[in-house]
Amino acid sequence: MNTQILSARLTLTKVALHDWELIRSIYSNPTLMEHIGATMSEEDIRRNFEKELAPWSLDSTHWLTWIIRETDSGNDVGLISICTRNREHLTAEVGFIILEGSKGKGYATEAIRRVFDFAVDTFGFNKFTAVCSEEHAASRRVLEKAGMKLDKIMPESTEIAGKMVNDCFYSLES
């Protein structure tokens, strides 16, 4: 499998051992995790990281994760992942985290669109889903710009920082 995906401004590279510090810094950062969930212990981050280093297929239960970087500068932008949610109907969930200095530049939308194209061409996915908290307006805008439609809002379905939040469920059929 090709471990690199290119878009107009970005290079997405499958997560590798040398990405440990970036991954650790993302999942232990309270600001980046504010709308996602609790920050993770280094032990939990390491356990998930090791799973994501493993080869990936449609049968995998772990996420296929790419590091997003600006092609011109090589600067880290964030990460984006997909995970098979329904193999029979070839459905994948997408998730992303963009670093503070890279937000508001359209990088997340660009990366999602490119990952969708790659996942359709490479794995045959025909539906994508995403979940985000209702109060995370920036992520909701990104998902909508990427062509996803809001299917439903589930009241108080996830606990983040001791508070129950409404989850927005999005989908896109390719």
C-alpha 3/C-alpha 105 separation (Å) is: 24
C-alpha 62/C-alpha 18 separation (Å) is: 19
Domain boundaries, the chain: 4-122
C-alpha 9/C-alpha 110 separation (Å) is: 8
Whether CATH 3.30.70.2740 fits 4-122: no
Q: How confident is the model over 105-132, as pLDDT tens digits? A: 999 999 999 999 999 999 999 999 999 9
Q: How confident is the model over 37-96, as pLDDT tens digits? A: 989 999 999 999 999 999 999 999 999 999 999 999 999 999 999 999 999 999 999 999
pTM: 0.96
Strand order of the β-sheet with 64-70 is 4-6, 10-14, 64-70, 76-86, 91-98, 127-133, 163-173, 149-160
